[in-house]
Structure 1
Amino acid sequence: MDSYLLLKWVHVLSSTVLFGTGLGTAFHGWMATRSGDLRAMAVSGRNVVLADWLFTTPAVIVQPVTGVLLARQAGFGWDTPWLLLSIALYGLVGACWLPVVWLQIRMRHLAEGAVASGEALPALYHRYARIWFALGWPAFIGVVVIFWLMIAKPALL
């Protein structure tokens, strides 16, 4: 396999891991929160944070590295509109993801604390959950648009 195809395979695979893990952890975390079951929220919180460290973080690093190398090998200039939009959307997705990671860690701590103490979940958990949910939408839509841009490479201007 030549280097371009290998890079393309790694890029597509890591984008799939990034999207799939994000969608899967969002579903798992949201459904646990909706259940109201403190133990489920604590377990889900641990798993969501772990999945971000094991899968999302490496994919977040691999994506721009392979993307830059692919663009260079394919001869795309940095002024290519679809590429610029992809990079801007990747920045937007990252700007949503970083606070989401912090929120997930805080939500995990709050759920684990409530389970350990036998007390009710603090209202702060639900506030964090609403923000977490709201930040997920622009990130999700951004990744979907990036997938389309990667595949279609449209002439935007």
Structure 2
Amino acid sequence: MLYLWVKWIHILSSTLLFGTGLGIAFFFWIAHKRGDAKVIAETARTVVIADACFTAPAVIVQFATGVWLMRHLGMPPSVFWLKTALVLFFVVGACWLPVLWLQARAKRLASEAAAAGEALSPAYYRTMRWWFWLGWPAFVSVMAIFWLMVLKPI
């Protein structure tokens, strides 16, 4: 019975992680495309809060329940699908950690522009380019992890 609860929490946390990440990316990108520094600053503030409240805890729960399930099932981390999923999980993390900093930087730059009544700076646009391009390997990796979790190829 404990196994099923942990598995349910693992699936739920993966769904929360993917859904929150996709939602954050969507709303932040839409705000960015509007080009209004005030809207961007407010959206970025919400994005930073959402990452702290939902994404970060889901990452921890995802990893902890995954390790528990692996050990409970006696599955060595050398199993192809599991090893690949773990590598991809760390790829996602390697993209997400700088994205956290980039989101906070974009928020600060947009807030400064809005407060001064100025246009968004070139530094803001560089920050968003990095944010955008780091999102793609993370997104593709998460999709691959879902595929691996479902199919479990040998």
* TM superposition score category, shorter chain reference: over 0.9
1:77 match: secondary structure: coil
- Which residue identity is paired with 1:43? E
2:119 match: secondary structure: coil
Residue 50 of structure 1 aligns with which residue? 49
Residue 80 of structure 1 aligns with which residue? 79
What is the 5 A alignment of 1:1-157?
2-155=1-154
C-alpha deviation, 1:55, in angstroms: 0.3
- Which residue identity is paired with 2:81? W
- Which residue identity is paired with 1:44? T
Q: Distance in 2 between matches of 1:79 and 1:24?
A: 33
Q: Distance in 2 between matches of 1:78 and 1:18?
A: 22
RMSD across aligned positions (CA): 0.8
**Once the two structures are superposed, what CA deviation does each residue of 1:59-80 show, in whole Å capped at 9, x if it has no partner?**
1111110001011112211211
Number of residue-to-residue matches in the alignment:
154
Q: Distance in 2 between matches of 1:20 and 1:149?
A: 18
- Which residue identity is paired with 2:13? S
2:22 match: secondary structure: helix
TM-score scaled to structure 2, two decimals? Answer: 0.97
Q: Distance in 1 between matches of 2:68 and 2:44?
A: 35
Q: Distance in 2 between matches of 1:78 and 1:33?
A: 40
- Which residue identity is paired with 1:72? R
Q: Sequence identity of aligned pairs in percent?
A: 55
- Which residue identity is paired with 1:62? V
Q: Distance in 1 between matches of 2:78 and 2:106?
A: 41
TM-score scaled to structure 1, two decimals? Answer: 0.96
**Once the two structures are superposed, what CA deviation does each residue of 1:85-133 show, in whole Å capped at 9, x if it has no partner?**
0000001000000000000000001111111111221111111101100
2:78 match: secondary structure: coil
Consecutive unaligned residues in structure 2, runs of 5 or more: none
2:75 match: secondary structure: coil
- Which residue identity is paired with 1:39? K
C-alpha deviation, 1:57, in angstroms: 0.3
Consecutive unaligned residues in structure 1, runs of 5 or more: none
